[in-house]
Structure 1
């Protein structure tokens, strides 16, 4: 059985599954493999398993999980439209089985005629999608973005239906988890978390990071910790 089938069975049998949650949040190979290379059945099991577990249990584990390292600039997300990375890109990739370059993805997402803008937009939203295991990005040049089986599977759901699962996928991200963990444990400071960024870059990316942290915490039993985060620079 794959990771999510075993996890589902653990829960059905009343077995403590904190180790499974830790493995998921750590992006262990076993937890990522079914999302990147699994079939429809494995993706369906992953979705139903993640969807059924209260998000508060993920927060309980994240609160005490060590953060493996300080953030570097590449860890801090930059994007313009969350839904374009979380859903729309994969909808486009359904018609592009061989994938899209950053430039082509950017053009289809924003219709810009400026080559530089297209590339940057495509890159930023592809990286956002990759944070949730929705796409893979090749190391070739030019980079090619392809849908994962998981990303393709999730296109059948609208944003409202899958946001509970997307929240949990985003907690795996080191930038999101760094700030969420700090807030769960007490006062948190955005500037301290992203101290590797220059002040101007930290300012530009603040809206993006806040968007993701708000998305993860809003509507949960821990929404109150949002007030502990100081976003000032």
Structure 2
């Protein structure tokens, strides 16, 4: 996945180039990895209410249906009261604009090569991305892509539309859509320790976690508190915290919750998670089925198994997590595929046999 903020555009660079008036994040997709990277890099700036902050992402329900964008990321970004979230149709690249005076096209330079042909004052950012202070180009970009044809986010409408599109599918069409999700751009998937599920029981992770967040009647609960809601008494504080953290992270992957960046970190139910909690059992099952098919690790595994007869899941996981945890994570992944098999999706049965 292409991010505006990347290790190659470091915090040191940001600290040396702080905006004084405004900052615009302009990107096609919005997901948790991007949201956390932006917050961790710019959080001190976000606390300065004198700086105008805009976050513009592509208004396309298909980006959420195929898993490239996440509702939990929107709610995480929106937890900062001074960030104005807007949407735009047909975004082609990721751009960062500081004070309307510096434009950084961190990725997909080719997309805007016509704008850069006669551009003055163009440099690289840490050897990565294109930066310019050319006023003519920046004004042209702002006029064409920012100041016109952007809309305020109607979040309720976006989430409701998403759920309705999934719930109205009959079984055969749902299965076809699930295949489409899985085969959608595995190269856009981000695999990391945080995107490889870790939980005790699948039902507890998927159903009990949103229920605990809703029934707690607390706006934001800690890992420790969630662990106590989910697990029986008699555990240590560390065990409760770790238990809560693992299930919170999976709920975030499922878009049913988001984890803020405060200390201590707190888990919040998302609008999607709240609606999920109130659905009928059959509707819940259909939504869960769709959500697990969107997980990056599921997409990648399906692609690997179907295209590489020698694929070994345990060896693959060792690229991202320690050998001591591979068996537990592999077991979690198999539980997810077993859930899909139990939902009569034939593709999953073949995959499960191979992993």
Name the TM-score, length of structure 1 as normaliser: 0.76
Tell me the CA shift for residue 222 of structure 1. Answer: 2.0
Secondary structure of the residue aligned to 2:267 is strand
Q: Name structure 1 gaps, 5 residues minimum.
A: 1-18
User: Greater strand percent: which structure?
Assistant: 2
Match of 2:65 in 1: 24
Q: How many Å separate the matches in 1 of 2:243 and 2:71? A: 31
Match of 1:190 in 2: 313
**Among residues 247, 268, 285, which one is paired with 1:146 in the alignment?**
268
1:207 correspondence with 2:322: no
**Aligned-residue CA RMSD in angstroms?**
3.0
* Cα pair 2:186 2:303 within 8 Å, conserved: no
Q: How many Å separate the matches in 2 of 1:215 and 1:203? A: 18
Map of 1:122-133 to 2, 5 A cutoff? 122-133=244-255
Secondary structure of the residue aligned to 2:198 is coil
Q: How many Å separate the matches in 2 of 1:90 and 1:30? A: 15
Q: Name structure 2 gaps, 5 residues minimum.
A: 1-59, 79-154
For the pair shown, which has the larger CA radius of gyration, 1 or 2?
2
* Cα pair 2:337 2:348 within 8 Å, conserved: no
Alignment CA distance shift 1:112-1:184 (3 Å) = farther
Secondary structure of the residue aligned to 1:77 is coil
Match of 2:225 in 1: 104
Alignment CA distance shift 1:46-1:142 (3 Å) = same
Match of 1:7 in 2: none
Map of 1:1-233 to 2, 5 A cutoff? 21=62, 24-28=65-69, 33=74, 38-39=155-156, 42-51=158-167, 52=169, 53-63=173-183, 65-68=185-188, 71-95=191-215, 96-113=217-234, 114-185=236-307, 187=309, 188-196=311-319, 197-218=321-342, 219-230=344-355
Tell me the CA shift for residue 54 of structure 1. Answer: 1.6
Name the TM-score, length of structure 2 as normaliser: 0.52
Q: How many Å separate the matches in 1 of 2:184 and 2:214? A: 39
Alignment CA distance shift 1:229-1:159 (3 Å) = farther
Q: How many Å separate the matches in 2 of 1:82 and 1:138? A: 23
* Cα pair 2:72 2:256 within 8 Å, conserved: no
Q: How many Å separate the matches in 2 of 1:66 and 1:159? A: 31
Instruction: Work out the number of aligned pairs and report it.
Output: 211
* Cα pair 2:292 2:298 within 8 Å, conserved: yes
* Cα pair 1:85 1:129 within 8 Å, conserved: yes
Alignment CA distance shift 1:148-1:118 (3 Å) = same
